[in-house]
Amino acid sequence: MNITFLGTGAGQVTKERNVSALGLKFDEDKKWYLFDCGEGTQRQIIQSSLSVEKLDAIFITHLHGDHYYGLPGLLSTKKLNGSLSSLTIYGPKGIKKFLESAIDLSEEDLGYKLSLIEYLFNDEFFFEKFSLKVLALVHSKESAAFYIKESTQGKSLIIAGDNSQPEILNKYLHNLDLLVHECTFTQEVYDDLPEKYLHTTARDLGITAQKYHVKNLIVNHINPRYNKKRTLNVEMIEDEIKSNYKGKLFIANDFDVYNLSTDEVSLL
């Protein structure tokens, strides 16, 4: 399977990173699946090898704007492209109200079947190529991780939303093939914040991934303060994780494509 990162920043769009979104595509599957849909995701899709026409379902981790404000525009573009295949969106309670309001107010006739499913934690959904279980995280708003198990090769991965306690996923982390997890701050920066946000630090993430021998770790949701022009940079996040975690680590950039067909994730 391949994972395409469409947005890897936290909270706001920057020159280097769009806000949260990633595409998951299984081998020999024409369809693909979108996880989170921050503002501008449709433009990121156009610049990747994925297409809105072949998008089968969208999973939203939580209702903070940087994870779902891109939905109405994407739904509208799908119609304008003449793509009439059905689409299902899975999200927390409130996703229906948000999308139905946007569609009603715009008097939008999508012309294709849109199904909106509000999941509960521990719900499980089954697809042709994989199963997906919804797990609860710890954040300032109800937030979910998705535990995905591939049907044929049996690879397992977690795509997590915003979360301050990676340890909460402990039951699913043992020898997990891949964990995709936010890492918004380094520990020192977090400790100095006047107001604490419920996000994970590089130190905590590294310690947890090492404790449960997670095989591969890809980090996203990078705070804008870590960038090429600042004294803080992503290498600091990478170093802090590496000093605690000995598995394979990647700090995701927008448009990175990773392959998970062997035990080691590779960047294509």
Rounded (10°) angle between helices 234-242 and 202-211: 30
* One residue of 25, 64, 155, 181 binding Zn ion per CB under 5 A: 64
- Catalytic residue at 66? yes
Q: Footprint of Zn ion on residues 66-95 (CB under 5 A)?
A: 66
Q: Is 128 exposed, middle or buried (0-12, 13-18, 19+ CB in 10 A)?
A: exposed
Could you say whether residue 256 binds Zn ion (CB under 5 A)?
no
The size of the chain, in residues, is 268
Residue type, 160: A
CB of 253 to Zn ion, least distance (A): 17
Count residues contacting Zn ion (CB under 5 A)? 3
Residue 4, strand partner residues = 23, 257
Residue 11 CB, shortest distance to Zn ion, in Å, is 6
Does residue number 17 form part of the binding site for Zn ion (CB under 5 A)? Answer: no
Choosing from 66, 204, 254, 256, the catalytic residue is 66
Assess 39 for contact with Zn ion (CB under 5 A). no
CA distance 191 to 266: 33
The conformation of residue 23, written as its DSSP 8-state character, comes to E
Judged by CB under 5 A, the stretch of 28-36, 58-66, 83-91, 169-177 that binds Zn ion is: 58-66
Which residue number, 19 or 260, has a Cβ lying nearer to Zn ion?
19
Beta strand segments in the chain, E:
2-7, 21-25, 32-35, 55-59, 87-91, 114-118, 124-126, 130-136, 144-150, 156-160, 178-182, 216-220, 248-251, 257-259, 266-267
Confirm or reject binding of residue 199 to Zn ion (CB under 5 A): no
Out of 39, 150, 162, 238, the only residue in the binding site for Zn ion (CB under 5 A) is 162
Q: How far is the CB of 137 from Zn ion (least distance, A)?
A: 10
User: Judged by CB, which is closer to Zn ion: 64, or 78?
Assistant: 64
Yes or no: say if 255 and 219 are a contact pair by the CB < 8 Å rule.
no
For Zn ion, the binding residues (CB under 5 A) are: 64, 66, 162
Point out the residues that are catalytic: 66
